[in-house]
Chain A
Amino acid sequence: MNIHEYQGKSILNSFGVAVQRGLVADTPEEAVEAAKKINETTGSDWFVIKAQIHAGGRGKGGGVKIAKNLDQVKEISSQILGMQLITPQTSAEGKLVSKVLIAEDVYYPGDSEPSEIYMSILLDRATGKVTIMYSTEGGMDIEAVAEKTPELIYKEVINPGLGIQGYQCRKIAFNLGLSGKAFKEMVKFVESLYNAYVGCDASLFEINPVLKTSDDRIIAVDAKVTLDDNALFRHKDYAAMRDLSEEDPTEVEAGEAGLNYVQLDGNVGCMVNGAGLAMATMDIIKLSGGEPANFLDVGGTADAKRVEKAFRIILKDEKVKAILVNIFGGIVRCDRVAQGIVDAYKNIGDINVPIIVRLQGTNAKEGKALIDESGLKVHSAIVLQDAADRVKEVMA
């Protein structure tokens, strides 16, 4: 689950990670109030206004701006709130901004130059261990850094049984070229950041940048935090951070019905049991001359209610010209699935696209017979290749 920057920072802060201070606001008036409160602690009249959407590259799209007084806080917040923010990571329409984070200015002048560091924590699937990636080249696109100067990216692998050790934190701080107070702060920062990662069951932290301020503080200026959906059962407070407006409404609706659905761009919808077979079915659609319109795993219990819901969701997409249902009945019986399809078809009524149903496994023949005798305009198949050929026919 992705969360907003302000939510990510509040989680980090709760684990003792130093973050750029800020308050979230829904309106320009709230933004001004937030700025006043921040001023009470910092004494500074400068603030950063940051659009809160689930996408990176916000600065490039005009979603992050500096305000040098309260009037500007109001003016800039009014501009950003309600805008369709387009960044390299959003779609062409962009995303609606409904919250801004008013944050303290941390690039103030001082005894030393501020410097930006990159740090992320993620699971390295190859080793099965959590890994800290970091670089002196913060504030930039890390993929570009990895391409041009891979030697500037360091990795530290953490033993899950032992957790992060002091020498590892020191190594990181040394590699980042820090000394004195900044060194000590970094050691503490890394340790608390790792503990936050484990403590909140994250699947990704990306802090870009971590800032060394001109007075040698180490703070997280941005926070991209992704939480492990499978662990939300033990973090009810984080589960409440989910922002449904950031998600595709059809995918949300499907999720509530227990269907695993991902919207795609193609013209052939599909409904399958099992994730691997669902992906394979998308690939078959492509090989048969179509483009998959979706990924949809109906799960192990493909009963009439679920099948109907799945049909309704697929049919919402006007680009869909045909639907391929591919069920391998292991535990689930094909005749029951077939009955579900027939019932769903009749309930929905006006299905105008051809439907190809492939049922294989337990009671496949009985299932096929049910479909064939239903009188519905449904093509049936048992062998996967037949289903592929049928898709080819209807797409031709």
Chain B
Amino acid sequence: MSVLVNKNSKVIVQGFTGSEGTFHAGQMIEYGTNVVGGVTPGKGGQTHLDKPVFNTVADAVKETGADVTIIFVPPAFAADAILEAADAGIKVIVTITEGIPVNDMVKVKNFIDTLNDCTLIGPNCPGVMTAGEAKVGIMPGFIFKKGTIGIVSKSGTLTYEAVDQITKAGLGQSTAIGIGGDPIIGTTTKEAVQLLMADPDTEGIVMIGEIGGNLEAEAARWIKEHGTKPVVGFIAGVTAPKGRTMGHAGAIVGGDDDTAEAKKKILRECGIHVVDSPAEIGKKMAEVMGVTA
């Protein structure tokens, strides 16, 4: 099982022949991901990294049966790339690109939400990784170990931190979902948590959030009502000043309810095991799962 991507996923890479696309597609293939081809308009018919290149996503789907895509195209063209993938019937669209205009994403999200069987992950995210099966993202593969902990996070390097600590704590990962740090993202914290709660291979969940927006609170309230597995939570940005964007476009404290402290309070009230220090994520999860490293 696992969620979103696994060893049977047929993955294409949009922006395949660019420098980012080339590097990360290579890493994905090396990890054992089933990359079936890529898309670069105008380069259809060529071969890149021993895989076929297509002009359009529709061509790629027709020829390879691809059901997952990862997008590395530049911000100005990324919204178009997402819509093209959705139109071609791709089921899981992972968008790595950072810096897509917000108004583009407002339109894209509104459209994707009308589709029944299309999941958008990101943008501005490290991707999705099912340990030992498929890496559809830019996460370093070697820190993962197959196991039963699912991870949901807005941040890239903080996800790596959690993954690494989970591995060192004697546990391993089912699927890690980097949902992205933009104000508008396809899959919310709650939706990612729902996927992991429903996954028989996942026994515990790490939920990493940050200042800005209400995604973590929304997820926490759902967990309180419907959660069946232990959740360890961390919220970054206790020390972030109000009204300043902290790197991620969405990481900005707007009011009293989207500070790190306010979110942590809600998480605790909803029964989530909240750690104050990011250095204690693995330790806390091991404790909750009854494992000693």
- B135-192 CB contacts (< 8 Å) to partner A: 138-140, 142-143, 153-161, 164-165, 181, 183-184
Answer yes or no: B106 CB below 8 A from chain A CBs. Answer: yes
Answer yes or no: A129 CB below 8 A from chain B CBs. Answer: yes
In Å, the complex CA distance between A295 and B241 comes to 10
Q: How many A-B residue pairs have CB under 8 A?
A: 173
Size category, A interface: 35 or more
Q: Are A233 and B239 in contact (CB under 8 A)?
A: no
Nearest CB of A to B151, in Å = 13
Interface code A273-289, partner B: CB below 8 Å = 1, 0 otherwise?
Answer: 11111111111111100
A279 and B279 in contact, given A161-B110, A233-B76, A384-B161 (Cβ under 8 angstroms): no
Q: Are A128 and B278 in contact (CB under 8 A)?
A: no
Residues in A whose Cβ lies below 8 Å from that of B107: 160-161
Which of B1-9, B43-51, B193-201, B245-253 is the interface stretch? B245-253
Q: Are A361 and B102 in contact (CB under 8 A)?
A: no
Q: Are A230 and B239 in contact (CB under 8 A)?
A: no
Residues in B whose Cβ lies below 8 Å from that of A385: 277, 279-280
Q: For A273, give the chain B residue with the smallest CB separation.
A: B157
Answer yes or no: A383 CB below 8 A from chain B CBs. Answer: yes
Answer yes or no: B81 CB below 8 A from chain A CBs. Answer: no
In Å, the complex CA distance between A234 and B99 comes to 13
Nearest CB of A to B67, in Å = 25
CB < 8 Å: which of A123, A231, A233, A279 contacts B246? A279
Q: For B98, give the chain A residue with the smallest CB separation.
A: A230
Among A128, A273, A286, A292, find the residue whose CB has the most chain B CB atoms closer than 10 A: A128
Interface code A205-229, partner B: CB below 8 Å = 1, 0 otherwise?
Answer: 0000000000000000000000011
Q: Are B249 and A230 in contact (CB under 8 A)?
A: yes
Answer yes or no: A102 CB below 8 A from chain B CBs. Answer: no
Residues in B whose Cβ lies below 8 Å from that of A292: 239
CB < 8 Å: which of A123, A266, A328, A331 contacts B161? A328
Which of B33-41, B84-92, B206-214, B219-227 is the interface stretch? B206-214
Nearest CB of B to A174, in Å = 26
Q: For A274, give the chain B residue with the smallest CB separation.
A: B157
Answer yes or no: A120 CB below 8 A from chain B CBs. Answer: no
10 contacts between A and B (CB under 8 A): A126-B214, A160-B106, A262-B241, A266-B239, A274-B156, A279-B236, A279-B246, A330-B139, A331-B140, A384-B278
Other A-B contacts than A125-B183, A330-B140, 12 sampled, CB-CB below 8 A, are A128-B110, A201-B101, A230-B101, A231-B102, A274-B157, A275-B155, A277-B157, A282-B237, A284-B279, A297-B247, A331-B138, A361-B160
